[in-house]
Amino acid sequence: MPSSKSLSEPPLVESYKQLVDKSVEFQQLCEIVDESELPLIELSGLRSENGGKHLGCVEAIGKAASEWGFFQVVNHGVSHELLAEMRREQMKLFEMPFETKARSKLLNDSYRWGTPTATSARQFSWSEAFHVPLAKIAEEGSWNEELSSTSREVMEKLAGELSELAHEVAGALVEYLGFHGEMSSKKCSKSTCFLRLNHYPTCPYAWEAFGLVPHTDSDFLTILHQDQVGGLQLMKDSRWVAVKPNPDALIVNIGDLFQAWSNGIYKSVEHKVIANAQAQRYSIAYFLCPSHESTIGSCREPSMYKKFTFGEFRKQVQEDVRRTGHKVGLPRFLL
């Protein structure tokens, strides 16, 4: 009789075997990786009435965004109890039978697994996820009878807290470059942002497979809550760096849109997740996105990039992935 685990996991092994070329894969993943702690920023300074503390926090955020493209934040205002509760609900979601996840149109049909567009094992992600538009969390029709009201309430509350944090950090990034006003000017709202629940099952090909393939994020910024398994790596000074998990911190990374808006000052850095043969991994990500009609211009001239809307950017990314198997991103929009 199949185990509950085998019933819940997507057919990653079968899909990977169809793509794998082991003589190439092993060579490409056999590399030395440094481990590092990301810049750690105390966010309470951002809310301080002391002008010096506030400006010091803004400067720390701006420097980390320009030098690393990634940083950690503590005292971020998001409830640790709520994050733990969301993790428990998330695990219940992924423990559902695969057929239920794939066929029942759960959470507005947001379930994804593997990489359908992959033409080689190097383009395949050993993971599954629910990529949920925030606007759909509150919609009655988006929830199936298999999902508890608790899951919905927890997800809605967490999305609200992460949204406040994302706008707060985005405001600091705008302020660091000498501008004022929130990201609402770019129409980043509940109707345009996403929450992504990730699960990385144990992988028998961990020495040669990606949990999540190298990529940059196609948003303004991403807030990530990861467990203590580890596996996140980012590109720093032309080398991959493993990010040491910090149970008290949330990770913030710059997306393509902030790199374009800042005229290249902020860095949208390539990152990936390494597969693990011994332990499964969970993470939760919040993506701060504008409306598809929003124009992403540069804050300074002359601009490195031609003007484009978020919709145009997403369409180009999807076209490249369909045609070549990987994302090209901002280089398509260089002047």
Spatial contact of 97 and 11, defined as CB atoms under 8 Å apart: no
Run of H or E including 232 = strand 232-236
Cβ-proximal residues to 25 (8 Å cutoff; 6+ apart), any chain: 121, 122, 208, 209
Q: Which residue in this structure is represented by tokens 């996105």?
A: 289
Q: Which residue in this structure is represented by tokens 């501008």?
A: 179
- What CATH class is the domain 4-333? mainly beta
Spatial contact of 38 and 251, defined as CB atoms under 8 Å apart: yes
Task: Give the residue among 268, 193, 253 at the shortest CA–CA distance from 223.
Answer: 253
Burial class, 170, CB count within 10 angstroms (exposed 0-12 / middle 13-18 / buried 19+) = buried
Task: Report the C-alpha gap between 107 and 314 in whole angstroms.
Answer: 22
Residue-wise pLDDT for 130-151, tens only, equals 999 988 887 766 666 667 778 8
Cβ-proximal residues to 320 (8 Å cutoff; 6+ apart), any chain: 326, 327, 328, 329, 332
pTM for the structure as a whole: 0.93
Q: How confident is the model at residue 259 (pLDDT cuts 50, 70, 90)?
A: very high
Share of the chain above pLDDT 90, in %: 70
Q: How many CA atoms lie within 13 Å of 334's alpha carbon, on the beta-carbon side?
A: 6
Spatial contact of 220 and 255, defined as CB atoms under 8 Å apart: yes
Mean per-residue pLDDT, 26-51: 78
Over the chain, what is the mean pLDDT? Answer: 89
From 45-49, 139-143, 163-167, 194-198, the region with the lowest mean pLDDT: 139-143
From 1-5, 113-117, 165-169, 265-269, the region with the lowest mean pLDDT: 1-5
Residue 73 has pLDDT above 90, yes or no: yes
Exposure letters 248-287 (e unless 16+ CB within 10 A, then b): ebbbbbbbbbbbbbbbbbbbbbbbbbbbbeeebbbbbbbb
- The domain locations on the chain are 4-333
Residue-wise pLDDT for 53-69, tens only, equals 999 999 999 999 999 99
Residue-wise pLDDT for 202-251, tens only, equals 999 998 899 999 999 999 999 999 999 999 999 999 999 999 999 999 99
Strand order in the sheet with 271-274: 34-36, 239-243, 232-236, 271-274, 210-215
Residue 107 has pLDDT above 70, yes or no: yes
Q: Two tokens at 118?
A: 């992959």
Q: How confident is the model at residue 25 (pLDDT cuts 50, 70, 90)?
A: very low
Spatial contact of 124 and 13, defined as CB atoms under 8 Å apart: no
Residue 312 has pLDDT above 80, yes or no: yes
Task: Report the C-alpha gap between 170 and 180 in whole angstroms.
Answer: 11
Task: Give the residue among 235, 290, 283 at the shortest CA–CA distance from 258.
Answer: 290
Task: Report the C-alpha gap between 266 and 254 in whole angstroms.
Answer: 7
Cβ-proximal residues to 1 (8 Å cutoff; 6+ apart), any chain: none
How high is the pLDDT of residue 185?
Answer: 46
How high is the pLDDT of residue 27?
Answer: 43
Q: How confident is the model at residue 1 (pLDDT cuts 50, 70, 90)?
A: very low
How high is the pLDDT of residue 184?
Answer: 46
Residue 324 has pLDDT above 60, yes or no: yes
- SS3 label, residue 152: helix
Spatial contact of 25 and 122, defined as CB atoms under 8 Å apart: yes
How high is the pLDDT of residue 181?
Answer: 62
Residue-wise pLDDT for 150-167, tens only, equals 888 999 999 999 999 999
Q: How confident is the model at residue 104 (pLDDT cuts 50, 70, 90)?
A: confident
Q: How confident is the model at residue 92 (pLDDT cuts 50, 70, 90)?
A: very high
How high is the pLDDT of residue 111?
Answer: 92
How high is the pLDDT of residue 23?
Answer: 45
